[in-house]
Amino acid sequence: MLSSRDIVLRAYQQGLMVPAFNIPYLPMMEPVIRAVIDENCAAFVMVARPEWVKFESKSPTAIAEEFDKWDDPDHVRLHLDHVPVIDEDGLQVDYVPIFQEAIDVGFHSVMIDASRLDLDGNIAATRQIVEMAHEAGIACEAELGAVLGHEAGPLPDYEELFRSGTGFTDVAQAERFVRETDCDWLSVAIGSVHGAISGAAKSQKKVEARLNLERLERLRDATGIPLVLHGGSGVKQDAVLAAIQRGIAKVNVATEIRQAYEGALAAGDVTSAQQAVYDRTRWIIRDYYHLTDSAERLMASDGLGPDDITA
């Protein structure tokens, strides 16, 4: 079975990307995977710590058990998304046992988010989890910069945020960060925002974000590794498609499918909510990201290593 590391590297080298779908409610797992299979897409299914703290995904173990019921190695891999060192409420997290749990139950890759620390602290915490992941034979994603949205309270004015570049990933810091941590993929802040996860705001439509493509190109050249876009829901389509040609090889999608599930559930039942998730996931893959049949290029175990693939 091709590793998550090699799948993302193939995407990076071919100007494609791997969509990664968050599962805040366990019944979302089956329709997401079914949609991925029906679109013949290469994708990740994932859970972030806020989704078992603030929603109903329960735990990494519960997600892994649900994933195993529907797993299709020709199309999907299981990823541990955002496990923060300092969470969105400003609290210290006992994060190492969470990574150990994920490794023990078979996650194919993990993500450490130490972006709320200073640069030296982020490097140290990230390096610790990278070494842990690599010892287990799996890839580790990290984050540098501030992709806002998960914090309580209103988001700063988006136009001012974008104009000022507040929280955007620093290019020189990114070069040092990748060199000193040996992370496999880097989540960068270039204009996207996370969907709100607290209070009434979690049901509101996200701001339509755009991306600083010039900074993205500089980050790609400085780091030389696949880059990740968090807060993928709601980004202008032309911007995200251009970003995929400039080093973004994985895009996280959460709000689009979570709100589809919650809205349909409020008006009906779990079955109708699952159908809404299925339909929305297929639309995202097919019409928004144009990734139908990407599994043929990214998942095939044809004997080629990533170094044998050219863009």
Tens digit of each residue's pLDDT (9 = 90 or more) over 104-117: 999 999 999 999 99
Angstrom distance (rounded) from CA 3 to CA 137: 9
pLDDT score of 100: 98
Q: What percent of the chain has pLDDT over 90?
A: 76
The backbone torsions φ and ψ at residue 264, rounded to the nearest 5 degrees and listed phi first, read -70, -35
Q: Note whether 229 and 248 are within 8 A (CB).
A: yes
Pick the CATH number of 4-295 from 1.10.3470.10, 3.40.50.2300, 3.30.530.20, 3.20.20.70: 3.20.20.70
pLDDT score of 146: 77
Higher pLDDT pick, 299 / 196: 299
pLDDT score of 302: 61
Q: How confident is the model at residue 263 (pLDDT cuts 50, 70, 90)?
A: very high
DSSP string for residues in the chain: ---HHHHHHHHHHHT--EEEEE-SBGGGHHHHHHHHHHTT--EEEEE-HHHHHTSB---HHHHHHHHHHH--TTTEEEEEEEEESB-TTS-B---HHHHHHHHHTT-SEEEEE-TTS-HHHHHHHHHHHHHHHHHTT-EEEEEES---SSSSSPPPPHHHHHHHTTTPPPHHHHHHHHHHH--SEEEE-SS--PPP-SGGGGGSPPP-B---HHHHHHHHHHH-S-EEES--TTB-HHHHHHHHTTTEEEEEE-HHHHHHHHHHHHHS-HHHHHHHHHHHHHHIIIIIS--TTTHHHHT--SS--GGG---
pLDDT score of 300: 81
Residue 155 has pLDDT above 90, yes or no: no
pLDDT tens digits for 218-237?
A: 999 999 999 999 887 778 89
Per-chain mean pLDDT for the chain: 89
pLDDT score of 156: 65
Q: Note whether 265 and 29 are within 8 A (CB).
A: no
Q: How confident is the model at residue 205 (pLDDT cuts 50, 70, 90)?
A: low
Angstrom distance (rounded) from CA 130 to CA 111: 9
Angstrom distance (rounded) from CA 249 to CA 237: 15
**197: nearest Cα among 148, 133, 267:** 148
Q: What is the value of pTM for the model shown?
A: 0.89
pLDDT score of 197: 39
What are the residue ranges spanned by the domains of the chain?
Answer: 4-295
**304: nearest Cα among 80, 13, 109:** 13
Residue 62 has pLDDT above 60, yes or no: yes
Give the catalytic positions in this structure.
81
* Averaged pLDDT for residues 43-48: 98
pLDDT score of 305: 44
Alpha carbon distances (Å) from 148 to 195, 234, 247: 9, 14, 21
Angstrom distance (rounded) from CA 256 to CA 158: 19
Residue 35 has pLDDT above 90, yes or no: yes
**What separation, in Å, do the N-terminal and C-terminal C-alpha atoms of the chain show?**
22
Angstrom distance (rounded) from CA 227 to CA 249: 6
* Averaged pLDDT for residues 243-253: 96
pLDDT score of 28: 98
Angstrom distance (rounded) from CA 148 to CA 231: 9
* Averaged pLDDT for residues 65-70: 98
